Amino acid sequence: MVSRVVSATPYGFTGKIIEVEGDMSKGLPSLQIVGMGNKAIDESRDRVRSAIKNSSLDFPKGKLIVNLAPAELPKDGSQFDLPIALAILCIGGMLTQNDIEGAIFAGELALDGSLRPIRSAIVTAEVAKNHKIKSVFVPAQNAEQASLVPGVKIFPVDNLKSLFLHLKKEKFIKSINRTKNKIETNTPEDKTTIDDIYGQEQAKRAIQIAVAGRHNILLSGPPGSGKTMLAKSLKNLLPPLSKTEIVEVTKLHNLGNTNTISSTIRERPFRSPHHTASRASIIGGGSRIQPGEISLAHRGVLFLDELLEYPRNILESLRQPLEDHEITVSRANGKFNFPANFLLIATMNPCPCGFLGDSDKTCICSQNQILNYQKKLSGPLLDRIDLTVSVSRVPHEKLLSNSSLIKSQHSLFLSEISQARAIQKTRYGCSYKYNNDLSSSDVDKITSISASTKAFLINAARRLDLSTRSYFKVIKVARTIADLENSTSIEVSHIAESLQYRQININ
């Protein structure tokens, strides 16, 4: 008799169903696992054997073969321990095929039979939903994550023995009640706000526009002008994650090499990789295909401090994700897609010494050094950045000025951003689409521009020699400015403000 237990495996950002088949024949007692599994799956033989024995259950005596089908699909991870154990128990007659029908199982077994958390709990729940499987059994530490997926029953399993008793209908495991799974917002660790920054009113305005419409932004200026502080203040202006976004972000962080294997991500990610990070760590890939920093920043912010210190090949690899909001990692064993819809905020010095154009300090770089430095940022990549702002140093006499009488810009910005988001939510019919996500055809259909405003834009585009992409980006940014002012149509003033952020020279 062949037993079959249903499980799942991650495949890029999605998952695929896996059938764990078991068979026993005459011969010396042994356990062989086939089906293109990795080292962790091959080692599950010893974990499963010890877990069954220490759960006071009988391990069948015979030649056992376990197959992970489809065999041609590469499989990775330890989540197959539990379904392999159940398949063996079915072969031994302790469970029947009817006991495990209509359910999907995933979990790593400890030697004592307890279950350890896995990285694919949400993927398992989503696969179950897509295949109309109602019951999902995962480790108790992953139950909260899996319960984020609606339409399936999540059963938290502590150990193999309790699951066996549940399947035999002797002692039931209670399913997770999704009504208790409320969306909560965490208090950010970094509490830097716009109010902590003196001066830099144009840069602050650009930060507000960037957050309201999810527009990419580049801050250029000398050292100590507040670029990094401005970037960090952006984090506390971001709106909370929606339920759909929480599922996406949590799943990505679980698939990545992060310490969130059993937690739920409720705060928008703010990823700031160092400029010495490898291409695979930023783009994704590696020997075990994982999402990179650009995918871990999905629905959040990717902060690249000192942009021109990053290798050019890494910067150029950002061009496609910035345009398509996803990244395809191609390897010999397949193509893996990961979402990468992030807000890019980058800072840079205008030259190697950092003081080109500074009013107080003289630049010591040669013209050749300046050109070679700025060539690291190609035209096509710069064209994909919606807002470029020159940030100058604040005079010393203004640094300790009394700002207690000034109205809180942070609270005002939050209110106006919330208003702009509400307008976009109504316009697009969902909470996770922003003005920057508009396609060129949508810009013409959705945005309202008067004839005089359009004539002004066309004239400015000719004078500035804007590319087609830049032309539409000006309209998208202007649409966000109009939303911040609660204007139904795009006016000349909105286009004019948007154009000032399309700087041709970054110095």
Residues 181-222: pLDDT tens digits? 444 444 456 678 888 888 888 999 999 999 999 999 999 999
**Residue 451 covered by a domain:** no
Instruction: Say which CATH number the domain at 374 has.
Output: 3.40.50.300
Per-residue pLDDT, 335: 87
Q: How far is CA 306 from the centre of its chain?
A: 22
Is 382 in the same domain as 287? yes
DSSP codes joined into one string, 93-134 = TSS-HHHHTTEEE--EEPTTSBEE--S-HHHHHHHHHHTT--
Q: Is 62 helix (H, G, I), strand (E, B) or coil?
A: coil
Per-residue pLDDT, 185: 47
Tokens of 454: 């359009």
On whether the pTM is more than 0.85, the answer is yes
Is 131 in the same domain as 7? yes
Is 284 in the same domain as 203? yes
More reliable by pLDDT, 16 or 360: 16
Per-residue pLDDT, 408: 80
**Residue 488 covered by a domain:** no
Is 286 in the same domain as 355? yes
Q: Which domain holds residue 155?
A: 3-180
Per-residue pLDDT, 179: 47
Portion of the chain with pLDDT greater than 70, in percent: 93
Is 22 in the same domain as 52? yes
Measured distance between the N- and C-terminal CA atoms of the chain, rounded to whole angstroms: 74
**Residue 173 covered by a domain:** yes
In this model, does residue 398 exceed pLDDT 80?
Answer: no
pLDDT tens digits, residue range 254-287?
888 666 777 888 899 999 999 999 999 999 988 7
Is 66 in the same domain as 211? no
- Number of structural domains in the chain: 2
**Residue 348 covered by a domain:** yes
Instruction: Say which CATH number the domain at 29 has.
Output: 3.30.230.10
Q: Residue holding tokens 């033989």? A: 45
The residues near 326 (Cβ < 8 Å, ≥ 6 apart) are 337, 338, 339, 340, 341
Per-residue pLDDT, 504: 52
Domain boundary among 180, 207, 230: 180
Cis peptide leading into residue 350 (ω within 30°): no
Domain boundary among 180, 215, 246: 180
**Residue 40 covered by a domain:** yes
* Residue 212 CB neighbours (<10 A): 27
Helices and strands of the chain, counted as H and E runs: 21, 18
Is 250 in the same domain as 294? yes
Is 210 in the same domain as 165? no
**Residue 334 covered by a domain:** yes
Is 72 in the same domain as 108? yes
**Residue 53 covered by a domain:** yes
In this model, does residue 417 exceed pLDDT 60?
Answer: yes
Domain boundary among 416, 432, 448: 432
User: Interior CA angle at 197 toward 400 and 479, to 5°?
Assistant: 145
Is 168 in the same domain as 211? no
In this model, does residue 76 exceed pLDDT 90?
Answer: no
Q: What are phi and psi of 64, to 5 degrees?
A: -100, 135
Residues 231 and 345: their CA atoms lie apart, in Å, by 7
Q: Which of 269, 262, 263 is nearest to 241 (CA)?
A: 269
In this model, does residue 326 exceed pLDDT 70?
Answer: yes
Tokens of 185: 């917002």
Is 218 in the same domain as 106? no
Is 9 in the same domain as 39? yes
Per-residue pLDDT, 432: 81
Distances (CA, A) of 13 to 6, 107, 328, 458: 20, 19, 10, 41
Q: Is 404 helix (H, G, I), strand (E, B) or coil?
A: coil
* Residue 359 CB neighbours (<10 A): 9
Q: What are phi and psi of 79, to 5 degrees?
A: -70, -10
Residues 67 and 32: their CA atoms lie apart, in Å, by 9
Per DSSP bridges, beta strands 290-291 and 284-285 are antiparallel
Residues 33 and 499: their CA atoms lie apart, in Å, by 62
**Residue 226 covered by a domain:** yes
Q: Which of 341, 283, 345, 343 is nearest to 316 (CA)?
A: 283
